[in-house]
Structure 1
Amino acid sequence: MNRRQLVQGSAVLPALLLASRSGFAAAPDGVFGPSTVRDLARMLAGKPYEAPDEKLPSELRDLDYDQYRSIRFLPERALWRDKNLPFEAQFFHRGFFYKNKVTIFEVADGKATEIKYRKADFSFGEKVPAFEDIDLGFAGFRIHSPINRPDYYDEVCVFLGASYFRAVAKGQTYGLSARGLSIDTGEAKGEEFPLFKAFWLERPALGATSLVIHALLDSKSCAASYRFTVRPGDTTVFDVEMSVYPRVEMQRAGLAPMTSMFFYGPNDRNDIDDFRPSVHDSDGLAIFNGKGESLWRPLSNPRDLQISTFQDLNPRGFGLMQRERNFFAYQDIESGFEKRPSLWMEPIGDWGEGGVVLFEIPTKEEVHDNIAAFWRPKTPLQAKGEHNYTYRLHWGPDSPKPHSLARFTRSGIGARGEDARLFVLDLVGDNLKGIDPAAVKGVVTAEKSEVKNIVTQPNPYTGGWRLSFQCQVKGEPIELRAFLTQGDKPLSEIWVYRWAP
């Protein structure tokens, strides 16, 4: 399964929800309060795990990609369309890979009402077989709002498949994805994929600038509740409140996980025969660590799986970024990689000890997401406990800038003889303008290798600076670190990279 093919308890609970293997059924006048979904997740975690409802008519279960893509929700049937509100919700049909039943509620005036599936709300392509009109529930939903112009409701975010969700900012197209939670990513025993099994959409007020979405997640290892406050704009912001209730001790939990695609770029295009200079949804991992350091790790498409962990205490943020915004760096009119969003995660409060984990997975096709990043706490999440986290997701052209240091924008790597590589790094930043070139120094270190010919110079074509150096290579991975200084004063963030043969 690849993403590009698929998308291109409390006292009030019995009155609100009736849990069953077929999903959730809303009772009449179901009371909904701030703790409803947390209480439901806590109750769910206290019971044995039940597999999700995947029962579907065979006509839908056996759909191919083109058949499924031809099923469209009718925009005129969108939730809140008739109320002239600033947000609308449209729903995804079940079928193809999206077999899990997702139950969706509308919350208004403190009450939750289930949104019923109606076959008449969808149009079906000619090749979709006829099937019985029964209550199927949904596969997910998407939110629309006037983000680019006031008279048109653009698609702002989508929740579809397992615990995946995506969003865009003004002028952007979909790229990387976020997830509710990752469990045992990269483990030999296999990864566990939690599912959002129910959502509650709070009806927005007239003129509202934000939308609140509640979600219930379930998995073999845990249940969890989420409260998303979505604010579309030049940067679309999600405020996320998460409570995790483990059924078992979770030693390999990944918080605020995100997934992306890096096929090739100027630092890594070995064996690539393609007219486009670069192909990627994200070109680097940025980290603002608890020490106040800003790190930039260019992504790669390695020959073998690479796992990197950046240990930290109380991180200030990290994200998978798309810094290259020039069309001519991609030359792809259809894909528009220069319009893909960056995703920055900002913890609210102290998250303690742990590390930002980066997975870089080999791929020979751009249709596969081969990059994953998340925060892994040092201390396992204990069974039968409650673990609360609050964070903010920024979907947009860049991350919030915590300082005035120059940033690395391009990392180029090429051969320099049989046993050497030339690294050419470009930087931009207002603090580099008008500075005396003689005062700028490049600091480069490498493990298990010798660094030669360190050169720093202004780049008149970018208005920034260029740092280049050579490094001896002997067929084994090399950890590199580089930055610019003026005397003892740092001028740039820190570039960190793992070169591998």
Structure 2
Amino acid sequence: MSLDRRTFLQLAAAFQAASALGIGPAMAEKAEGLTFGPAEPFSWEGLKRHARELAGKPYESPPRPNPEIVQQIDYDAHGKLRYKLENALWGEGGSVYPISFQHVGRYFPKTVRMHLIEKGAAREILYNPNLFMGGPGHVAKKLGPEPSAFAGFWVHESRNRPDWKKAEPWATFLGASYFRAVGELGQVGLSSRGLAIGPGTANPEEFPDFVAFWFEPALTEADPVIVNALLDSPSVAGAYRFAMRRGKGVVMDIEASLNLRKPIERMGLAPLTSMFWFSETVKATAVDWRPEVHDSDGLAMWNGKGEHIWRPLNNPSRIMVSSFVDQTPRGFGLCQRDRDFNNYQDGVKYQLRPTAWVEPLSDWGEGAIQLTEIPTDDEIHDNIVAMWVPKDPTAAGKTYDYRYRLHWLADEPYPSPLARCMATRLGNGGQPGQPRPKGVRKFMVEFKGDVLAKLPFGVKPEPVLSASRGQFSYIYAEAVPNEVPGHWRAQFDFTVDGKDPVEMRLYLKHGDEVLSETWLYQYHPF
């Protein structure tokens, strides 16, 4: 199954009612193959003010293109609606990074207003069915110019590249407040969102929408593409400003101002969304021919006290929400650490999926990094959410301002200098040649790093273990027998009664010296 189709199905299952910025029809003038509305003043402060005013009004659903026609634009029909890149915004000049637009369809039914900013003034980019290729008989041709049928946009590689029209876009915004970017290994994978409302709660999750965008050009490849956005939903209205830079991967500086219409039970800031089906840790017998299937294999955290933590992901039997209480966190991210093709054997190249790292640029105060893990039986579903949840209860009328930097790379931008966890493996407990005791699980947790390679010959690191309940036995460490310097594993058996989850903690030390990051694991006895 292709990545594009998997993404469509993920979003189709998730997206709920949308909203859009109500801007009436405008007199138009033509330029560069696009049609624009009249100029209106625009500023970031003005957008924030507009969001505050919008939050003081009842939420209104957006105007929609003809639902009967849009429903007919299924996956196959949407795939044929390719934007004509000769009509790309900045395709011939004005910015080094062209932008193309995406069409509404069955799985992306909401409309989004697009605007170009020049010299402090904004003009709406007006929808025209002729901007898209689909054939003269395509059902989308039946839609009129109002309301707009734009659903999202793509940011393309530099026009200085002769192949930019053939290259994959490096940033995409499509569906609710979802967006993605290319990592330094050349692939997209997990997604981010403007805001998460209520994942993992007893109530249905609410999906706010980016309902309008305003684009500012990047004059050189070193300059950022600036994207301003208005977010709206029944619970919140907000203003966002993205400064996106294309380098070895993508780095986005994000500023947000959120205004609440009503209290939110669980408000997730800087949310990351990914897919984890199975890894080498736990895999049902013959569930799939591939060794591993995941876009991310763990949650990495760098807490306010300076501790680096690695939490391998799970595919639990029921929804699980884990909270890691912190104050002024230094960062967190969903990571793909396993880069060996042999561990995936898949043509979609899961080993190239990016790591997305959230770096706060302001003091986020007290709260928790929350990890939501949702059961899945296939790779078509995004079932992992990681986000920051403030400690204080939310209140209607309150404004939340926060800033962060989002890195789309191959690894964490600030990795621990200590040894890092590389794999978590489970098996039956006990010793070879002896009857295997029931209810005993053996763990093999692998660490690798220069600090372990520098240990004197004959010196072994000491595993330091704890658990919320249960007993450890047969605890020891050994070098992994692959002749790779600094590659060690901690082994132990674990015995516990009952089926309730167990929280486990492990790190390696020598004397008083800590040698590794901290491994946290939620073990589900089976």
User: What CA distance in whole angstroms lies between the structure 1 residues aligned with 2:356 and 2:240?
Assistant: 19
Gaps of 5+ in 1: 9-17
1:60/1:251 Cα in 2 relative to 1: closer, same or farther (>3 Å)?
Answer: closer
AA partner of residue 143 (structure 1): V
Alignment check: 8 A CA contact 1:235 1:395 kept: yes
Per-residue deviation, 1:244: 0.5
Counterpart in 2 of 1:229?
243
Worse-matched range after superposition: 315-324 or 399-408: 399-408
Worse-matched range after superposition: 363-372 or 169-178: 169-178
Which runs of structure 2 are paired with 1:387-466 in the superposition (5 Å)?
387-416=400-429, 417=436, 418-436=438-456, 437-461=458-482, 462-463=484-485, 464-466=487-489
Counterpart in 2 of 1:102?
112
Counterpart in 1 of 2:518?
494
Worse-matched range after superposition: 246-255 or 308-317: 246-255
Alignment check: 8 A CA contact 2:26 2:38 kept: no
1:132/1:251 Cα in 2 relative to 1: closer, same or farther (>3 Å)?
Answer: closer
Counterpart in 2 of 1:20?
22
List per-residue Cα deviations over 1:49-108 (Å, max 9, x = no partner).
Answer: 111223325222232211112211112221101117320101001111211110010111
Which runs of structure 2 are paired with 1:167-316 in the superposition (5 Å)?
167-316=181-330
Per-residue deviation, 1:474: 2.7
Matched, 1:341 2:343: no
Worse-matched range after superposition: 412-421 or 175-184: 412-421
User: What CA distance in whole angstroms lies between the structure 1 residues aligned with 2:91 and 2:480?
Assistant: 52
Q: TM-score, normalised to structure 1's length?
A: 0.92
User: What CA distance in whole angstroms lies between the structure 2 residues aligned with 1:111 and 1:46?
Assistant: 26
AA partner of residue 7 (structure 2): R
Counterpart in 2 of 1:12?
none
Counterpart in 2 of 1:142?
154
Counterpart in 2 of 1:128?
138
User: What CA distance in whole angstroms lies between the structure 1 residues aligned with 2:118 and 2:8?
Assistant: 35
Per-residue deviation, 1:489: 1.1
User: What CA distance in whole angstroms lies between the structure 1 residues aligned with 2:172 and 2:461?
Assistant: 46
Give aligned-pair identity as a percent: 40
Counterpart in 2 of 1:485?
509
Alignment check: 8 A CA contact 1:147 1:156 kept: no
Matched, 1:90 2:111: no
User: What CA distance in whole angstroms lies between the structure 2 residues aligned with 1:424 and 1:126?
Assistant: 60
List per-residue Cα deviations over 1:287-341 (Å, max 9, x = no partner).
Answer: 11111111111001111221111111111111111000111110112x1101111
AA partner of residue 454 (structure 1): I
Counterpart in 1 of 2:495?
472
AA partner of residue 304 (structure 1): R
1:132/1:387 Cα in 2 relative to 1: closer, same or farther (>3 Å)?
Answer: closer
Counterpart in 2 of 1:30?
40
User: What CA distance in whole angstroms lies between the structure 1 residues aligned with 2:467 and 2:10?
Assistant: 42
Counterpart in 1 of 2:432?
none
User: What CA distance in whole angstroms lies between the structure 2 residues aligned with 1:103 and 1:67?
Assistant: 22
Per-residue deviation, 1:132: 4.1
1:147/1:231 Cα in 2 relative to 1: closer, same or farther (>3 Å)?
Answer: farther
User: What CA distance in whole angstroms lies between the structure 2 residues aligned with 1:173 and 1:325?
Assistant: 13
Per-residue deviation, 1:358: 0.7
SS in 2 for 1:159: strand
Alignment check: 8 A CA contact 1:453 1:469 kept: yes
The two structures, once aligned, show a CA RMSD in angstroms of 2.4
Per-residue deviation, 1:148: 12
Alignment check: 8 A CA contact 2:37 2:125 kept: no
User: What CA distance in whole angstroms lies between the structure 1 residues aligned with 2:137 and 2:428?
Assistant: 52
Matched, 1:3 2:7: yes
1:322 pairs with 314, 319, 336, which one?
336
Alignment check: 8 A CA contact 2:357 2:412 kept: yes
AA partner of residue 268 (structure 2): G
AA partner of residue 134 (structure 2): F
Q: TM-score, normalised to structure 2's length?
A: 0.88
Counterpart in 2 of 1:67?
77
User: What CA distance in whole angstroms lies between the structure 2 residues aligned with 1:98 and 1:409?
Assistant: 38
Gaps of 5+ in 2: 13-19, 28-35, 430-435
AA partner of residue 77 (structure 1): N
